[in-house]
């Protein structure tokens, strides 16, 4: 009954007289850990306690207006803490059970949202593929032979299949965008520090962002606004500077696009991209072709430079003592850290500073960048046979964004000829999240790519 509902659909049901128990308990009964997208689910007692806490809070206010996420279920990537549910980061030997919620989870529950479970991921959030997990490879929501994308694979899947209206993921190199593009949903990658990292298993702490998946930009943006905020407990949490003034994008925004887009031989994605650009131009936007070589140079720093050492630093103690418990591909990537020196790290920071200065100059001439979210779709068997090279190709248009301290929004743009989704990503400077959301909402309205018009599968 609730399959495929948006946040507004859930709230409308409650306003019409339904209760959280009537809607959420049957939803939980339908779910099973045999579904590879889940690592853990709340039990009935945990769900009933959440409902009781919610109803006590709502009715104690004597306010007929519902909390903004009253009784709305959501899922959490299993590298983000939920009190009394194990956090594994897709590594059973690493697992621990927190007693408190991550900051963003707490903000959402205070807003009325209900946690349903924790989702599968590429181990330690290392990958864009969704297959590097001992819990199994998460398949694409439209064709089970293909990857879901990662590392936030499970969080994307449960939204794409209509199980929950939104979920939390993370994004260091594209993990909150690639799965969105491959599964026909929205992926909101906020400005670094806009969402607190307290309660997050770090991958690259200087780059990590908690992200939001939803079926509509409106839902993703609303969730982001509820869970954002400065957190003094997180040294990387930031408030929006007063000098940054929010302003609407012009009626005819100008977006920079790659002068020559790379699809690694995937003609179906290339054709879908050209179709998408025609739709963007028809909506009134102006497209300016720019050389993306500089962004490739930035992206190369992430995995072909000392930033990989930050992944090692995040789990160093565990990696040293439990190397055999790690997924072999993840271990291979993270242990590359040993070949870099402190001098290499400083030199890379200097190089990034110079590249960022040039990138900001490019961005100053447009209202944002517009790129393919993922340049190709791969079968699970292809990625398992060639895990690192194909993963790198998926990050072609995502890897540089966090290094440059920019924000991004992945939006669905329909389907390729073979029925697999295709999406575009909007990119803008830090703290321009609202402008991206504004254009994303406008785009979804104009192209009729909101829920119900996409043909996406709901709970099966």
Please identify every residue annotated as catalytic: 77, 151, 175
- Give ∠ CA 454-457-458 in degrees, rounded to 5: 115
Residue 449's CB is within 10 A of a number of other CB atoms, namely 21
User: Contact 266/260 with Cβ under 8 angstroms?
Assistant: no
User: Contact 185/156 with Cβ under 8 angstroms?
Assistant: yes
Dihedral sign, Cα of residue 279, residue 283, residue 288, residue 293: negative
Provide the b/e sequence for 24-62 (b: ≥16 CB within 10 Å).
Answer: beebbeebeeebbbbbbbbeeebbbebbeebbeebeeee
| Residue 350 burial by Cβ neighbours in a 10 Å radius (0-12, 13-18, 19+) | exposed
**If residue 57 lies in a helix (H) or strand (E), which one and from where to where?**
helix 44-60
**If residue 39 lies in a helix (H) or strand (E), which one and from where to where?**
strand 38-41
User: Contact 146/380 with Cβ under 8 angstroms?
Assistant: yes
User: Contact 169/160 with Cβ under 8 angstroms?
Assistant: no
Strands (E), 183-244: 186-189, 209-214
Residue 389's CB is within 10 A of a number of other CB atoms, namely 9
Strand pairing category for 368-372 and 254-258: parallel
């Amino acid at each position: 009954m609730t399959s495929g509902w948006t946040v507004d659909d859930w709230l409308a049901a409650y306003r019409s007289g339904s209760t959280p128990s009537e809607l959420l308990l049957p939803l939980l009964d339908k779910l099973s850990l045999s579904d590879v997208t889940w690592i853990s689910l709340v039990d009935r007692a945990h769900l009933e306690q959440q409902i009781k806490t919610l109803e006590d809070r709502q009715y104690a206010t004597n306010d007929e207006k519902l909390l903004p996420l009253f009784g709305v279920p959501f899922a959490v990537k299993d590298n983000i803490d939920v009190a009394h549910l194990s956090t594994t980061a897709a590594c059973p030997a690493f697992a621990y059970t927190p007693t408190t919620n991550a900051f963003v989870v707490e903000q959402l529950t205070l807003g009325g949202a209900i946690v349903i479970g924790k989702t599968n991921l590429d181990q330690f959030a290392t990958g864009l593929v969704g297959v590097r997990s001992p819990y199994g490879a998460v398949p694409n929501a439209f064709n089970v032979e293909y990857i879901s994308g990662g590392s936030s694979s499970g969080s994307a899947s449960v939204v794409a299949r209509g199980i929950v209206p939104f979920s939390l993921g993370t994004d260091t190199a594209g993990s909150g965008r690639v799965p969105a593009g491959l599964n026909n949903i929205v992926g909101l990658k906020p400005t670094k520090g806009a969402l607190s990292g307290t309660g997050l298993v770090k991958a690259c702490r200087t780059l990590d962002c908690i992200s939001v998946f939803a079926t509509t930009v409106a839902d993703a943006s609303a969730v982001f606004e509820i869970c954002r905020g400065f957190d003094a407990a997180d040294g990387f949490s930031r408030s929006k500077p007063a000098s940054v003034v929010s302003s609407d994008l012009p009626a005819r925004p100008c977006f920079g696009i790659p002068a020559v887009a790379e699809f690694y031989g995937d003609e179906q994605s290339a054709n879908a991209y050209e179709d998408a650009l025609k739709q963007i131009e028809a909506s009134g936007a102006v497209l300016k072709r720019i050389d993306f070589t500089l962004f490739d140079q930035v992206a190369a720093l992430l995995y072909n430079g000392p930033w990989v050492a930050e992944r090692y630093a995040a789990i160093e103690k565990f990696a040293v003592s439990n190397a055999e418990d790690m997924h072999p591909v993840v271990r291979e990537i993270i242990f590359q850290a040993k070949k870099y020196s402190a001098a290499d790290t400083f030199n890379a920071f200097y190089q990034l500073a110079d590249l960022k200065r040039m990138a900001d100059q490019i961005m100053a001439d447009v209202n944002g960048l517009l790129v393919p979210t993922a340049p190709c779709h791969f079968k699970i068997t292809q990625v398992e046979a060639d895990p690192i090279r194909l993963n790198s190709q998926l990050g072609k248009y995502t890897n540089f964004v966090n290094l440059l301290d920019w924000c991004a929004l992945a939006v669905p743009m329909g389907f390729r000829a073979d029925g697999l989704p295709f999406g575009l990503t909007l990119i803008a400077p830090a703290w321009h999240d609202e402008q991206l959301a504004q254009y994303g909402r406008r785009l979804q309205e104009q192209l009729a790519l909101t829920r119900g018009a996409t043909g996406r599968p709901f709970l099966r």
